[in-house]
């Protein structure tokens, strides 16, 4: 058995649930099995975008981020459902419990995927035997399919899990790189987005193999330190450990919304920014963090999207502060064209307990005068519920949402 477990090195799994939201709905309602199914944010309105689809739907060309109308044209029999996040949350929790039965070294990275380090699990069998047991348990106990990548590091495990779907188990070793990895188009490499792929193609990098063998100096000139990092990954080099605590490390908290209709109405735009600010405040409060940077996203009617941010002198934590900075950014950068989507992201986060507010003579009175009010409002909210100050703060939709966020990823331990 020791031949499967190197003396110096690791054995890493990447477990990736297949078509997760659609698979959960099918497990909940077996009548959907074998039918083309898509999960969309709002099927009735144009904001309805396909979040995920079953493999039966994908055969017709239905893809993630595709508008519902286009998906239905490609697949007239497509069943479109709204997401039911509590269902997905429950399924995710049970899936990670199964992974935790194998090893304590489990690192969730999203609601439907995670890494395991099984280097010390010789007593449970070979890596392939362990992978098969995990896949079988998830299928039999949850009725959900998954693919598993087996490799000496996280990057290769991630790439391997994408190679056979659904229900695949793929081993990717460094000696397999020329035939299994380097032949793939550069845009299929994890960590290479559309814009980066476009830049790489301009310097004649078309495959992952091209990246692996390109001039490191030129890559660093083009992409900075990320150029060298991507090249290392292409050569199978990735020293990142599987870190169970990494789920608590996050760099930003944000939310956005697509408008029902394109608008230039200043009152409507301010109302939406207020709602977004309150949502971000609620999530920041839930994580006990404060922010030093605020970023807004504006998508126009022609789908052109811009982001603009502003670094703050002091940490921010209230919806009022987020709203004020966001509106200032919007007023400075809006080109007066109809707006389709708006978003707010709090960045440069820090734990509230570890931050000491540095008050100067100009901000002292502002913070001191609000502090007692905030404490009274929080105590009354705890006593009488979340709706107590809804009219005062215009706090509609400020409930914490975790549909695509990582806020819940440690739930499986509870």
Instruction: Reply yes or no on whether 113 is catalytic.
Output: yes
The C-alpha angle with vertex 163 and arms to 160 and 165, in degrees rounded to 5, equals 120
Both structure tokens of 192? 């290479």
Nearest to residue 57, comparing CAs of 33, 82, 41, 83? 33
**φ, ψ for residue 223 (rounded to 5)?**
-120, 5
**Residue 16 assigned as binding residue:** yes
Nearest to residue 32, comparing CAs of 99, 84, 110, 92? 84
Nearest to residue 158, comparing CAs of 205, 112, 113? 113
End-to-end CA distance of the chain: 34
List of long-range contacts for 24-32, beta carbons under 8 Å, 24+ apart: 24/87, 24/88, 24/91, 24/144, 25/81, 25/84, 25/87, 26/54, 26/143, 27/91, 27/142, 27/143, 27/144, 28/87, 32/79
**Residue 112 assigned as binding residue:** yes
- 171/185 Cα distance (integer angstroms): 19
- My answer on whether omega of the bond before 283 falls inside 30° of 0, hence cis, is no
Burial of 354: CB neighbours in 10 Å, binned 0-12, 13-18, 19+: exposed
**37 contacts 135 by C-beta, under 8 angstroms:** no
By DSSP bridging, strand 79-81 and strand 37-40 are parallel
Given the residues 25, 56, 70, 113, select the one marked as catalytic: 113
Residue with tokens 């090249």: 231
- 2/65 Cα distance (integer angstroms): 45
* DSSP assignment of 324-373: HHHHHHHHHH--SSPEEEEEEEEEEEEEGGG------TTTHHHHHHHHHH
SS3 289: strand
Which residues, including other chains, have CB under 8 Å from residue 276's CB and lie 6 or more apart?
Answer: 255, 256, 257, 326, 342, 343, 344
- Binding-site residue positions for Mg(2+): 16, 112
Provide the annotated active-site residues.
Answer: 113
- Binding-site residue positions: 16, 112
């Amino acid at each position: 058995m020791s031949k499967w477990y190197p003396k110096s090195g690791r054995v890493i799994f990447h477990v990736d649930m297949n078509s997760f939201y659609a698979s959960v709905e099918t497990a909940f309602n077996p009548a959907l099995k074998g039918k083309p199914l898509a999960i969309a944010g709002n099927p009735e309105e144009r904001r309805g975008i396909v979040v995920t689809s079953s493999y039966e739907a994908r055969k017709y060309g239905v893809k993630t981020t595709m508008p519902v109308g286009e998906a239905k044209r490609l697949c007239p029999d497509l069943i479109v459902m709204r997401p039911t996040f509590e269902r997905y949350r429950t399924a995710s929790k049970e899936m990670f419990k199964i992974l935790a039965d194998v090893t304590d070294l489990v690192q969730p990275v999203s609601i439907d995927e995670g890494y395991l380090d099984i280097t010390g699990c010789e007593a449970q069998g070979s890596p392939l035997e362990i992978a098969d047991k995990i896949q079988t348990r998830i299928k039999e106990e949850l009725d959900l399919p998954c693919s598993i990548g087996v490799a000496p590091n996280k990057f290769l495990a991630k790439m391997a899990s994408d190679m056979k779907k659904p229900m695949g188990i793929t081993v990717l070793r460094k000696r397999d790189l020329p035939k299994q990895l380097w032949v793939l188009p550069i845009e299929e490499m994890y960590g290479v987005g559309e814009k980066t792929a476009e830049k790489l193609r301009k310097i004649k990098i078309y495959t992952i193999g091209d990246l692996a063998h390109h001039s490191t100096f030129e890559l660093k000139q083009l992409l900075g330190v990320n150029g060298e990092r991507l090249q290392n990954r292409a050569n199978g080099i990735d020293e990142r450990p599987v870190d169970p605590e990494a789920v608590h490390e996050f760099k930003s908290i944000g939310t956005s919304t697509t408008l029902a209709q394109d608008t230039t109405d200043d009152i409507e735009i301010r109302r939406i920014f207020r709602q977004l600010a309150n949502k971000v405040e609620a999530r920041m409060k839930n994580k006990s963090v404060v922010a030093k940077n605020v970023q807004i996203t504006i998508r126009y009617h022609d789908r052109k999207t811009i982001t603009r941010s502003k670094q703050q002198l002091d940490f921010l934590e209230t919806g009022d502060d987020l709203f004020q900075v966001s509106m200032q950014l919007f007023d400075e950068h809006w080109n007066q064209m109809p707006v389709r989507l708006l978003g707010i992201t709090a960045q440069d986060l820090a734990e509230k307990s570890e931050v000491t507010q540095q008050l100067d003579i100009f901000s002292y009175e502002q913070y001191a005068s609000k502090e007692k009010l905030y404490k009274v409002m929080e105590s009354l909210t705890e006593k009488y519920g979340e709706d107590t100050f809804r009219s005062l703060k215009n706090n509609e939709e400020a409930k914490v949402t975790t549909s695509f966020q990582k806020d819940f990823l440690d739930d499986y331990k509870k």
